[in-house]
Amino acid sequence: MRKCKKIGVILILIGLCLPTVTLPFISEFYPLPNVCLTSNFFRNMGNMEIVLRPKQRTNSKDSPTIPSVLSPTEKKLEEIPYKPKIAIPYRYIFALGTILVFTGIGAIVLSRDEKRVGNQ
């Protein structure tokens, strides 16, 4: 097996495994009743994300509050500091997997063309 073909196979395997391995870590998936699983999956693709760190409440002593011109009720809501949620949308991981699969297929096709050119 040529080096280019090996790289193509590895890219295809990574492209297939990357979205599959991250499936258990998905949040925000809401299945719709009476709809098949694949339709649910692609309809919810925009909502799904892999949460690396959830939104957390921090101590008010640790983080400074920013003074602003708000009503008293809005100030009460703003005074509770939160660490922001860090998440990766699943559609980006799915797209990366798809790109890797097609790049691997392209590498395999190019390795076949090199073999034909060398024989002539």
**63-107 tens-digit pLDDT:** 555 555 556 555 555 556 777 888 899 999 999 999 999 999 999
Q: What is the mean pLDDT of the chain?
A: 78
Output the CA torsion 96→99→105→108 (10° steps). -80
d(CA 102, CA 97): 9
User: Do 87 and 50 touch, CB atoms closer than 8 A?
Assistant: yes
Residue 80 confidence (pLDDT): 61
Cα dist. 70→61, 67, 74, 80, 83 in Å? 21, 9, 6, 14, 21
Q: Is the model's pLDDT at 59 over the cut of 80? A: no
Domain that holds residue 104: 3-119
Structural domain total, the chain: 1
